[in-house]
Structure 1
Amino acid sequence: MDVPLFVPVRKTGCADALRVFRTPDGARTAVAFTSPVRLALVLGADQPWIRLCEPALRALLRDIGVPGIVIDPQAASSQPAPHAAA
């Protein structure tokens, strides 16, 4: 049986859209949490979410070209990581 994951979304009119984040090196990724409490601790109690199993989340991510999932991150950012000057 697949473990449910709690995935942050953005409300867009009548639909929900997955929130995409950035890793510290700037790569696009999704985040998912093992409980709504963990999600609220990182993203705030007002953050909307949906519940998905991992295979369903991976299928959605594949459609939008996002390769990874970070489960239960301690901090998350939806802003691009700054690039170091060469």
Structure 2
Amino acid sequence: MFPLIYVPTLNTVVFKHAPISWEWGIVFVEAVIFFLGIETWKLMKRFYFRRKARKATGSVIDLETRVFGHYYEMSSGSQDEEVGQEKRAS
């Protein structure tokens, strides 16, 4: 069905399709509005989560500690348990 609308006679006589002209203006305006909306949303989200992180972390500046600190604590505890179990087994 898709290629049929591009046959010249079928396109204009049967399906009554015509090429768009001023409608391209609507397409470009809507694309710009959509782009600006998405970028504004991302900017607001970035501001919100930065402020939330600043309140939650206080003055901790080390990014690695803030992001992976929880996993460092978890891994050190599990290694201690594994070492303790190995000592008991021997």
Q: Could you say whether these structures have the same fold, taking a TM-score greater than 0.5 normalized by the shorter chain as the test?
A: no
Higher RCO (CA < 8 A, seq sep 6+): 1
Question: Highest CA radius of gyration, 1 or 2?
Answer: 2
Query: Please, what TM-score do these two structures have when normalized by structure 1?
Result: 0.18
